Amino acid sequence: MEGNGNRKKLVFIVPRPLSKVSELSKYEDLSAHFQGVVLGSCYGPMLKVRKAGHFRLILTKIRYDRYLMYNILFFMRCVAFALASRMKKDRYDLVVTYDPLKTGVWGAVTAAILNTKFAPEVNGVYTSPAEYMDDAHTLSVRLKKFFYPRIEAWVLKRADGVKLLFPTQVDPFKPVMKTDVIHSFSNYVPIDRFAGGNGTENHEVLFVGYPFKRKGVDILIDAFKRVAPEFPQWRLKILGWYPDPRELEACMGNHPQIVHHPPVETSEVPDHIRGCSIFVLPSRSEAMGRVLVESMAAGKPRIGANVDGIPTVIRDGVDGVLFEPENTAELSEKLAQLMADKALRDVLGEAARKRAFTEHVKETYLNNVVSFYNAAM
């Protein structure tokens, strides 16, 4: 493999499909410290891309219409790569996966064949009942509720290092884990795209995301309805993809101050966040809340549920406001407080902006992740 022989060699197993070359910047940045291989998926045009810095790309074209076959092919490519590397005595130092579920299983098997270290990232809270509230009656969700915690336990038991989003994220699995290399830090968010809030007051409360129940959309709508009569100039905008909109529409109830905006391209999200006056994430469960970092960078006052990883990106009363999860009355009070006080909105928003460009810059993330990889090896 090309690259510096002194650099440690990593294998990344990444399920999220790549759609453009700019999404490979992470591996270009990591090339200052490491080299290796990225086993990933992509849309058609990206199949021609072979390298990112000192990382070779082995990409599988994603097929949602043949999703089972795609997953089988992806796993077979992981195994084939590991077997070929083992036969050629091409040693790797660490296998990294995006999650401790399907990809985690693939990573654990790949690492075992390579006889090397294994470090899954954990980007969800799979032991939370809220994770399975949406479509809870369906067989697929019931199966996920049964299998996900068991798969996570199996994967974490084999991990040599674990990367979390908040410190207590895998506490239920500590009894089966063999490693004490457990690092907690936020994922990288390209905050520069969200900088420069327009400073205008459009009196809009914004929510971005899905699914409906886990994200607490019903809680936010009910809370906003309570205060809407006092603030007739304000509106609530729900931006997100809801495959069955009936639940959302029933909750909105044709309220004149509440609108649903259909999903937009990722490139359009910064404009929506920069244009709001208050950003709210009322989740019942949330590992971090990427949108809270994005709205932080835009200098927006934020309200979030005091649950899981949200308190790691909102300091209550300093750069945002927290409320007890599922407490509609408290959320309505926090909304009214911010909607009535522009000076408070400005103070919280400016504190958020300063924090974003201190704690969530690329250099901080790279220092954290390089330290984690080195500790896991």
Provide CB contacts within 8 A for 33, sequence distance 6+. Answer: 7, 8, 370, 373
Contact 211, 285 (CB under 8 A): no
The whole-number pLDDT of residue 60 equals: 85
pLDDT in tens, 30-52: 999 999 999 998 877 777 788 99
The whole-number pLDDT of residue 198 equals: 55
Domain parsing of the chain, residue ranges: 8-189+361-376, 191-359
pLDDT in tens, 322-368: 999 999 999 999 999 999 999 999 999 999 999 999 999 999 999 99
pLDDT in tens, 160-202: 999 999 999 999 999 999 999 999 999 999 999 998 765 567 8
The whole-number pLDDT of residue 200 equals: 66
For 191-359, the fitting CATH number among 3.30.950.10, 3.40.50.2000, 3.50.30.30, 3.40.50.920 is 3.40.50.2000
The class that CATH gives domain 8-189+361-376 is alpha beta
Provide CB contacts within 8 A for 125, sequence distance 6+. Answer: 131, 169, 285, 286, 287, 308, 309
The whole-number pLDDT of residue 247 equals: 92
Sheet strands (E) in 197-297:
204-208, 235-239, 258-261, 278-281
pTM of the model: 0.91
Q: What is the CA radius of gyration of the chain?
A: 22
Segments of the chain with pLDDT less than 50? 1-2
- Whole-Å CA distances, 30 to 9, 178, 277, 295: 11, 27, 36, 26
The whole-number pLDDT of residue 49 equals: 81
The whole-number pLDDT of residue 2 equals: 46
Same fold, 8-189+361-376 and 191-359: yes
The whole-number pLDDT of residue 79 equals: 97
CA angle 161, 370, 127 (to 5 degrees): 40
- Whole-Å CA distances, 362 to 237, 310, 354: 30, 20, 15
Contact 322, 338 (CB under 8 A): no
Contact 73, 124 (CB under 8 A): no
